[in-house]
Amino acid sequence: MGGRSIQLARVFGIRVGVHPSWFVVLFLIIWFQARNYGAAFPDDNLAFALATASALLFFASVVLHELGHGVVAVRNGIAIDGIDLWLLGGVAKMGREAPSPGVEFRVAAAGPLVTAAIALACYAGAAGLVGPERVLLAALAVPGTSAIASILAYLAVINVMLLVLNLLPGFPLDGGRIVRAIAWWRTGDRSRATRIAALLGRAFSFVLFALGLYLAFYQGALVSGLWLAIIGLFLGQSARAAVAQSRVTARIEGLRVADVMDAEPVAVRGDARLDRALEEFFLRYRWPWFPVVDADDRLLGLVRREQLDDVPEPELAGRTVDEVISLDGAHAFRVDAEEPLESVLGAEGMRRLGAMLVVDRDGVLRGVVTRTRVSRALRPATPVA
C-alpha cells in the first residue's frame, strides 16, 4: 500500500486515515447496497441513504477492529504509526514487531474479538426487531423489513464474513499472526515462526485465488470472484514480504537506535534569526531540513528550506526560526534512543524525511538516525578470510 493516506481523525491518539483506493471500495459498496435496498425501499433517495449509511458503518467497524489491535499494542509498549483504510480493508501500522509470543498473540487476537463483539451486537439488534429467523432475510433487504433492521442485519453478516476471513491461519491475516505467536512460543524462534505462518499464508493465497477465478468465470459471480482472487494475490505477496522482513529484522536483533545514530546532530536554535539560519545552515550544509531546539537542547520541531523561502527577504533578519517551524515534527519524527532499531524501519520519519530524531525522556535531542546508517546496519556481515 504505497503513498500517504488522507487523515480523517485521531481516535485514542491514533491517526486514522484513508488511502485513495478506499474510495473505490466505498463507491462499490454503496452501489451494490443501493441496488439491494431498492427492492425493499422503492424510494431511490432512501435506498441510497441506507446504502451510504451501511457502507460507512461497515468501515467504522473495520476501524474499530484495527483500533482493537492498536490499543492492545500501545498497552504493550508498541507504538502505532496509524490506521489506514484501503482497497482491501484496514491496516494498523505498528512501529515495531511484538517483543514476545504473548504480546503477538494478544495484539493479533484483539481485532477479531472486537469484530465478533460487533457482529453479535448487530445480530442481537436485528433479531430484536424482526426475530432471529428473519435476520438473514433482513440482511438481503426483502420487502417488509424495516430500514434499521436491514442495516443491522447487513452489518452482522458482513462482520461475520470479515471475522472468518481474518481468522484464516495464514500470515499476515490475524489468524496467521496467531499461528505465528503459537509457533514462536513453541520454537523460541520468531523468524522460523514467521516462515511457518507465511507458508500457510501462501497456501491459502493459492486456494483463494483459484476459488475466485472459479466463481468469476464458471459460476458467473464476476465481481465477488475477482475480489476473492485479488485478496489471494495480496495474501501471497504479503506472506513473501513477511519472510523477507523477518530476515532483515533478524540481522539487527538486539541493536538499539542509540547504537547507530549520529550522536552529534546539527541543530538550529529556535531563537536564531532566519537570515542566519539560511546562511549558516541551509546554504552551508545544503540539507533540506534541520531539527530545531531551544536553549536547553529540547526538540521543538523541524525547519525546512521552503519555509524560509516563503518568507519575504526583507523580513528574514527580523524573524526567528521558531516562528516558522513545523510543530508536527516534534512528535511524528521522534524516537527514543533505547528503542529497538527495527522500530524505525517503517516509521513515518524514515518515509518522509529519510531520518528520525532521537530524543530522551526529557525531550532533549540526542542524535539523528538516518536511512543510510540503518542501511549499513542491515548489510550482511562480510566474512573474514
Beta bridge partners of 78: none
Burial (CB count within 10 angstroms: exposed 0-12, middle 13-18, buried 19+), residue 182: middle
Instruction: Provide the pairing of β-strand 6-11 with 14-18.
Output: antiparallel
Residue in the block written with cell 548489510? 379
* Whole-angstrom distance, CA of residue 299 vs CA of residue 149: 53
341: its cell numbers: 532499531
Three-state DSSP class for residue 41: coil
Return all residues near 103 (Cβ < 8 A) that are at least 6 apart. 76, 78
Instruction: Answer yes or no: 104 catalytic.
Output: no
273: its cell numbers: 534569526
Three-state DSSP class for residue 43: coil
Q: What is the DSSP letter of 383?
A: P
Active site members:
66
